[in-house]
Amino acid sequence: MTDTKNTADATAGSNFLRGIIEADLASGKHASRTTVNGTPLPPVVTRFPPEPNGYLHIGHAKSICLNFGLARDYGGRCTMRFDDTNPTKEEQEYVDGILDAVKWLGFDWKDQSGEHLYFASDYFPQMYHMAEYLIQSGHAYVDSQSAEQMAANRGSFSEPGKNSPYRDRPAQESLDLFRRMKAGEFKDGEHIVRVKIDMASPNMNLRDPAIYRIRHAHHHRTGDEWCIYPMYDYAHPIEDAIEHVTHSVCTLEFQDHRPFYDWLLERLTEGGFFKRPLPYQYEFARLNVTYVITSKRKLRQLVEENIVDGWDDPRMPTIVGIRRRGFTPESLQLFCDRTGTTKSDGWTDYGMLEAAVRDDLDPKAPRATAVLRPLRLVIDNFPEGLSEECSAPVHPHHPERGHRHFPITKELWIEEEDFTETPPKGYFRLYPGNKVRLRYGYVVECTGCDKDEHGRVIAVHCNYFADSRSGTPGADNYKVKGNIHWVSASHALEAEVRLYDRLFTDPQPDAGGKDFKLALNPKSKEVITAYLEQGMRAALPDEKFQFERHGYFVADRVDSTPGKPVFNRVVTLKDSWGK
């Protein structure tokens, strides 16, 4: 295992795939390719090939940024392809969600030659013809063994497999059976089409892999037109070749499938279906992020058992969840670039994801004041009914973005933790007898507090110095160590704020078959009522802010209503985990 945390900057922007593509560009390997109509093809074509069977997650974001990013950076094309060869699990709802996610991440499948949005199911007729060709040319046969017999004859890692008794049946007989399979004459599992490679191969994937199976099932696009469906390992290379993909990038577990990928495209090229140079598969290590699970099955469990509030819960690693949490597309792209692309599996620290969103939001997000754990502060010598306007920069490094304005009044809200009766060493905030600056306002001196019958502090009292106002010449005469934020009690916006944290307490919640539900963080969501600077009333859904001293927050895109935004904490200002 490698920890990519410390190597992030070294790998940013560059990876072994770029090396391969640059070498191919230099040698002109794909330079002279054209379509059958003679239209020139770009020298780099990648693809993003999700199965439309669920919501995309952070791992898919990696694949999207990688494939679309390589195409963008080398003047190529990335095709958006739905790998919908498995009829039973796929739905239109997921197709729409995936297209949305890719667009939101900042990519699209258009280039000068048009839209490159494809569905593997559109190639079913071609795939079928190619399978007929493989049967006719003696490279494939219909096997009529039962599933149990086939499994028994497959052998194991240490033992070779045995040839099927149907392996040498005449091509004409196989062809006839295949056509009858297609015509719906047989039940699921009665026959299967396999290619003839080598039942003794040390690579199990070459032991006569199946390419077509009977499946009487309704497909989300082709309906009931087909009752036979191609297997993934057969369909994928064909999809790549039809789309003129040059670099077919996938995760490491497909390494052992590559020999079949190549074998199949060679046979089909001999048959005149494709032209060289053929697509080539490259594998990289999938993205694993600590404190995150990405298995679709387990994510579904979180949703169905109401452990989270839906697929777009801001704690979910789904793209819809991450988006609702307040991450920007730029922050995800930055994260994916920084994690690099390698050939060895490892874990990326969750802190890197948080660092990426901080780095992206810091220069962009307007500042605002929010009191999250409110305590009343009364300025006893401040005139009743007076409201004086204070101002602060929208962004400390961008004076051109102007100022925000908010009033100071006799009664304010401050953070509970900014007052104590008995200060520990080094505590510079409010305690009886101490002076602090109310940020962008006046210097005040604490005089005491009120308590309820349980001894809980319910209000703090102070006096202000009328000549100490920030931005006036008198301000400099006051030297105070503490500087606290506040909002006017009579003007503040009362708002629901959701403090989100990581969903699990274990960095690898489901590793080694562990029960991830035992590692749930009980404090992953806390809902509070906070008091915000009055200007926050106008916050629009999806708008992000830095609440000074607290972190980055976003107006929730689902639950905010005009004049009444609800905020989600995107991330705190500093990484406090494990400290």
Residues designated catalytic: 51, 286, 296
What does residue 476 show for φ and ψ, rounded to 5 degrees? Answer: -70, -15
The CB-of-192 to ligand ATP minimum distance in angstroms stands at 21
Does 88 count as an annotated binding residue? no
With respect to ligand ATP, which residue has the nearer C-beta, 250 or 489?
A: 250
Q: In what order do the strands lie in the sheet with 544-547?
A: 367-368, 544-547, 551-555, 567-572, 493-500, 525-532, 370-371
What does residue 463 show for φ and ψ, rounded to 5 degrees? Answer: -120, 150
The CB-of-361 to ligand ATP minimum distance in angstroms stands at 24
Does 62 count as an annotated binding residue? yes
Please answer whether residues 121 and 52 qualify as being in contact, where contact means their C-beta atoms are separated by less than 8 angstroms: no
Residue 261 to residue 205: CA distance in whole angstroms: 10
On the question of a cis peptide bond just before residue 541, with omega within 30 degrees of 0, the verdict is: no
Q: Which residues of 187-223 are buried (b: 16+ CB within 10 A; e: fewer)?
A: eeeebbbbbbbebebeeebbbbbbbbbbeeeebbbbe
Query: Which token pair is 372?
Result: 């999250």
Does 512 count as an annotated binding residue? no
Cβ partners under 8 Å of residue 371, min gap 6: 413, 414, 415, 485, 486, 487, 492, 530, 531, 532
Does 177 count as an annotated binding residue? no
With respect to ligand ATP, which residue has the nearer C-beta, 90 or 445?
A: 90
Does 453 count as an annotated binding residue? no
With respect to ligand ATP, which residue has the nearer C-beta, 60 or 324?
A: 60
The CB-of-59 to ligand ATP minimum distance in angstroms stands at 2
Q: Which residue has the tokens 């400290």?
A: 579
With respect to ligand ATP, which residue has the nearer C-beta, 285 or 368?
A: 285
Taking the CB of residue 455, how many other CB atoms lie within 10 A of it? Answer: 6
Residues that bind ligand ATP (CB under 6 A): 49-51, 53, 59-60, 62-63, 250-251, 286-287, 294, 296
Does 53 count as an annotated binding residue? yes
The CB-of-328 to ligand ATP minimum distance in angstroms stands at 20
With respect to ligand ATP, which residue has the nearer C-beta, 239 or 313?
A: 239
Query: Which token pair is 335?
Result: 């994260």
The CB-of-330 to ligand ATP minimum distance in angstroms stands at 19
**Binding-site residues, please?**
51-53, 57-63, 83, 232, 251, 286-287
**Binding-site residues for L-glutamine, please?**
83, 232
**Binding-site residues for ATP, please?**
51-53, 57-63, 251, 286-287
